[in-house]
Chains A and B, each alone.
Chain A
Amino acid sequence: MTSNEVEQNFTPRWPALRAAVWCVLIAVGLAVWLPTLGGDTAARAWRGLLINFLFFAPLGAGLTVWSAIVLSSQGRWSGRLENLTLAGLATAPLAVAMLIVLWIGSASWAPWATAKDLPQGFWLNPTFVFGRDLAALVIFWILAWAYARQRLAGRGKVLGGWVIFVYVIALSFVAYDLVAALDVKWYSTLWGLYFAVTGVYSGVALWALLAAFVPGVEREKLHDLGKLMVAFSLLTTYMMFSQLLPIWYANLPDEVRMPLARMNFPAWRIVSTVLLATMYLGPLALLLTIRAKRTPWLLGAVAVLVLASTWVGRWWSVAPTFSHKIEFGGPEIGITLASLGAFALALDWYRWRMKAEIPQGAAEA
């Protein structure tokens, strides 16, 4: 495979135009978001950054981890499309940078950063929280980078297994520390695993979206990606239900406070219903037919729906902890545009720079 052939297949079209669009998104987003860091909207602005970190960091990691999942399960169905998953590596600096900025501003958004005498004690010490989360993310990305090098050389089975394992551990830390601990009284044993699974789910949706725009992509492979999206939508729904049912049933004050805010406050109840229809059950209904899974634009549209609803899901897991009303505006939109621009730029950058492909048949090696 020559570099020319690689470029013909995976390099995004109109590179200059795309780069310009992404840069404009970053600039406009920052221009909207930065002013909101002062005054009454400061906490919301910081939490906007948190929401986008919780969406984009697992998304990039989830995309990368798919290569390891395919290899570990001896899957050969993805063929050359597996190369697209490695683009997630380019988003690592963005994820790390966002976490560092969140650390710097933690006093403005994290209730545990300023609270005294928390029952969890040292566990929620800001330095310890961000130290372990940052360490977990960095270890994951270093492992993922080493794995990608091996994968491009036709190896990587052992390291791939470790990448998946560290991914789950790192995302579990993020889930407990940066989402669950926003309400220090709330706890759920399943929360970490649920969060990690949603990352893989959004990762496969992004993979399907990227694949749908590859010129001449084989319909058979889109079909398989569509099936994976349906399977992971069901798995995510199962995880959500497995968590919700015991909490609803037992009705214990420390546990029920989380779903209570999201299912009882009228405004958030609507968001919950929308999530049920889009993120959880949407792909099952929309991708039921073979034709839907094999049509690039339709599969791409469902992938966009899943990604958008996953973003809403992150917002839904953070915002109701602080307000019974829906507050959505500049603080959230600005940082979302900037993060989207930076994330897309990183993905495009990887594909522009991509000079080598994963050797085909490497899975059997």
Chain B
Amino acid sequence: MAKPTYQQIDGDVALALRPPRWPYLLAVGLLGAGATTALWVWVYQVRSGMGVAGINQPVGWGVYIANFVFWVGIAHSGTLISAILHLVRSKWRTAVSRSAEAMTIFAVMTAGLFPLIHLGRVWVFYFIAPYPSERQIWPNFVSPLVWDICAISTYFTVSLIFWYVGLIPDLASLRDRYEVSHGRDHPRSRFYRFFALGWTGAGSQWWHYGRSYLFFAALATPLVISVHSVVSWDFAMSLMPGWHTTIFAPYFVAGAIHQGLGMVLVLLIPMRKLLHLERLITVDHFEAIGKTMIVTTLIVGYAYVLEPWTAWYSHDKFEWQYAVWRATGYMAPEYWSLTLLNVLVPLALLFRRVRRNLWWLFAIGALVNVGMWLERYVIVPGGTTHDYLPHNWGHYTPTWVEWTITAGAFCWFAFWFLCFAKFLPTVPTSESKAQVAGLEHDEAPRVSGLGPVVSARLATSGVVAVFAEVEPMVAALEKVAATPYRRTTDTFSPFKIDAVPRILGWPTSPVRYWTLIGALTGLTCGFALAAGSAHVNDLIVGGKPWAAWLPFCVVGFEGTILVGTLVNFTGLWIHTRLGRWKLPRGYDRRFSADKFAIIVGCPPERTAEVRALLEATKPEETYDFK
């Protein structure tokens, strides 16, 4: 398939954002009704007490916790695709990253509800927050449940910022498009203008943005892995047979990525068709997802084999009886089904014909999600159903209340995803354009030199030269950089051009210092919070000393990522001067769409000289501003 043009990319994305029609509104209405029904059922549960749910002795953790693990798993792939694939410069991420990131946000929003629903007395949820309360007791940071709060809240915050930062250039493009076509006062124009934060795509903005986004990705990648590891430790830290196993962390992570990729297929295949995004999201992208799923299938299969093998090898009779019960007891149908759905079915992706057939891919994605839900169902209530003591063995059957809330969660998730698909660009237009331009990655270190004296985009007067393509603009910039105007020169472009800072002699962006300082501060604060609260409590819990440094590492790590990300974002905001909604004088709305520009700031009396200099580089047009 031929590469799309810049205009086609913008056009395709804008087409997807056109006013909704009745099938869309009907779907949103039905999903909203489903979520509202679940809300009422939850209110009923709160009023009636947890007795209306199926959880009872010996099963204290039922479908709600299984749902929590399931939705956290779904949340995994979004940031994974976006962050890890950004770090390894994988090209197939571009088409699917935005939707996958959105999937992360909505899945975390869904997952976060379940501990509250499971809590019963939801009004005391704040007990877990570390604050000097009248109870005079602080949360115990040795507890995996407290790590959960730290990990999930950090994950939500970081994923939201990462998603939003990726959106900013695209929102600016939509701002310019809607202001031209619908006027400044149209609600959409206002919405996009507000959230675009005054972004112009100046070289001096991309300079910091590229670095900052790289650090977001670098911080988000270990975070992705940590979050589901922490969720797995909710189980692995216990002594329960079937729960306490060292492989749980990487096994949960691989499983989460596996199901997240499956959900990406389930969401993207129909979305591509309904929003007419075939030109931007191609079958090649789906094939790449299929190939990645082969890897996750093998890792999940490896863990499935190792679990019962270790139970046998260890000769721990409790582990072994649990492994046998799981394969032969009343949960055996679920156990064998999940093996089939999570390992054997996706192995069909080994065949290229299957990987390139969207019907097969959709079916496999859906079946993997069913399989992964069953896996969580077998792990969570299954583990407590059959523990050490035979007289404590029991059964668990979810009630209609649990099933309704479970179904409502799917409606809630889909509702938000549909809203996203109609109001925000589902494909990153800026990155797609960069990919069409086919620029080579240019990461040479720039340790000397100075940044722009006063960024030319903020100059009060000067000259702008407009180019239709990126290469002539870069060639022209080389010539301008050789003149005394280098330090008052800047560019505008719809995507990041790595060569600009190098040509203009700017050093590596100082955003890296912000991130480092933030990360170190977060690390220190995380350890201080955990150790300080443990010191105040001064209790021996579970036979552990109050200064239990090993589990405090989890809190320290989450602090590193959270504060590192927040400070990185602050650095980006300050250096790129975001939040100045008034656009600079030399800016033209075409620069966020398909035109490239060199802007040279100069006093009015020098504009003729600068204009001559720029016209010698053969631009499409030049104009003065003041």
A interface vs B, CB < 8 Å?
73-75, 77, 119-120, 123, 161, 165, 168, 172, 176, 187-193, 220, 223, 227, 234, 238-239, 241-252, 254-255, 290-291, 294
Closest to B144 in A: A249
Question: Across the interface, do A192 and B445 meet the contact criterion of CB distance under 8 Å?
Answer: no
Proximity string of chain B (74-110) to chain A, C-beta cutoff 8 Å, 1 when within and 0 when not: 0000000000000111100000000000000000000
CB pairs A–B below 8 angstroms (21 shown): A73-B88, A74-B90, A75-B88, A168-B302, A172-B302, A187-B314, A188-B310, A189-B245, A189-B306, A190-B247, A220-B443, A238-B222, A241-B553, A242-B250, A245-B550, A246-B233, A246-B244, A248-B550, A249-B544, A252-B239, A291-B445
Question: Across the interface, do B543 and A251 meet the contact criterion of CB distance under 8 Å?
Answer: yes
Question: Across the interface, do A238 and B225 meet the contact criterion of CB distance under 8 Å?
Answer: yes
Judge whether B227 is part of the interface by a CB distance below 8 angstroms: no
Question: Across the interface, do B250 and A245 meet the contact criterion of CB distance under 8 Å?
Answer: no
Judge whether B298 is part of the interface by a CB distance below 8 angstroms: yes
Ranked 6 nearest A-B pairs via Cβ: A189-B247, A242-B249, A190-B246, A119-B315, A187-B314, A190-B247
**11 other A-B residue contacts (CB within 8 Å) besides A120-B313, A190-B249:** A120-B315, A165-B298, A187-B313, A188-B246, A189-B247, A189-B306, A190-B246, A193-B250, A243-B246, A245-B550, A246-B236
Chain B residues within an 8 Å CB radius of A252 = 239, 244
Chain A residues within an 8 Å CB radius of B621 = none
A189-B310, A193-B302, A254-B316 as given contacts; A242 in contact with B244, CB under 8 Å: no
Judge whether B237 is part of the interface by a CB distance below 8 angstroms: yes
Separation of A81 and B245 alpha carbons in the complex (Å)? 40
Separation of A192 and B313 alpha carbons in the complex (Å)? 13
Chain A residues within an 8 Å CB radius of B154 = none
Chain A residues within an 8 Å CB radius of B239 = 250, 252
Count of B interface residues, CB-CB < 8 Å: 41
Separation of A77 and B306 alpha carbons in the complex (Å)? 35
Closest to B352 in A: A158
Chain B residues within an 8 Å CB radius of A239 = 250
Judge whether B58 is part of the interface by a CB distance below 8 angstroms: no
Separation of A266 and B288 alpha carbons in the complex (Å)? 50
Separation of A311 and B328 alpha carbons in the complex (Å)? 44
Proximity string of chain B (240-256) to chain A, C-beta cutoff 8 Å, 1 when within and 0 when not: 00001111111000000
Separation of A181 and B348 alpha carbons in the complex (Å)? 36
Min Cβ gap A165→B in Å is 6
Min Cβ gap A195→B in Å is 13
Chain A residues within an 8 Å CB radius of B89 = 77
Which of B89, B247, B551 is packed against the most chain A CB atoms within 10 Å? B247
Separation of A79 and B313 alpha carbons in the complex (Å)? 44
Min Cβ gap B529→A in Å is 19
Min Cβ gap A293→B in Å is 9
Separation of A193 and B300 alpha carbons in the complex (Å)? 12
Chain A residues within an 8 Å CB radius of B553 = 241
Judge whether B294 is part of the interface by a CB distance below 8 angstroms: yes
Separation of A172 and B248 alpha carbons in the complex (Å)? 17
Closest to B294 in A: A161
Judge whether B540 is part of the interface by a CB distance below 8 angstroms: no
Chain B residues within an 8 Å CB radius of A172 = 302
Question: Across the interface, do A249 and B313 meet the contact criterion of CB distance under 8 Å?
Answer: no
Contact of B445 among A77, A165, A241, A294 (CB under 8 A): A294
Min Cβ gap A236→B in Å is 12
Question: Across the interface, do A247 and B313 meet the contact criterion of CB distance under 8 Å?
Answer: no
CB-contacts of B275-315 with A (<8 A)? 294, 298, 302-303, 306-307, 310, 313-315
Separation of A245 and B144 alpha carbons in the complex (Å)? 11
Chain B residues within an 8 Å CB radius of A119 = 315
Min Cβ gap B427→A in Å is 21
A77-B89, A119-B315, A192-B306 as given contacts; A247 in contact with B246, CB under 8 Å: yes
Question: Across the interface, do B310 and A291 meet the contact criterion of CB distance under 8 Å?
Answer: no
Question: Across the interface, do B246 and A246 meet the contact criterion of CB distance under 8 Å?
Answer: yes
Question: Across the interface, do A193 and B244 meet the contact criterion of CB distance under 8 Å?
Answer: no
Question: Across the interface, do A189 and B246 meet the contact criterion of CB distance under 8 Å?
Answer: yes
Closest to A165 in B: B298
Separation of A192 and B315 alpha carbons in the complex (Å)? 18
Separation of A168 and B303 alpha carbons in the complex (Å)? 12
Closest to B237 in A: A249
A119-B315, A120-B315 as given contacts; A250 in contact with B244, CB under 8 Å: yes
Judge whether B533 is part of the interface by a CB distance below 8 angstroms: no
Chain A residues within an 8 Å CB radius of B250 = 190, 193, 238-239, 242
Contact of A242 among B246, B302, B310, B544 (CB under 8 A): B246
Question: Across the interface, do B233 and A187 meet the contact criterion of CB distance under 8 Å?
Answer: no
Closest to A246 in B: B236
A193-B302, A223-B443 as given contacts; A245 in contact with B551, CB under 8 Å: yes
Question: Across the interface, do A246 and B245 meet the contact criterion of CB distance under 8 Å?
Answer: yes
Judge whether B229 is part of the interface by a CB distance below 8 angstroms: yes
CB-contacts of B353-409 with A (<8 A)? none
Judge whether B508 is part of the interface by a CB distance below 8 angstroms: yes
A246-B246, A251-B543 as given contacts; A291 in contact with B447, CB under 8 Å: yes
Question: Across the interface, do A249 and B551 meet the contact criterion of CB distance under 8 Å?
Answer: yes
Min Cβ gap A252→B in Å is 7
Chain A residues within an 8 Å CB radius of B550 = 244-245, 248
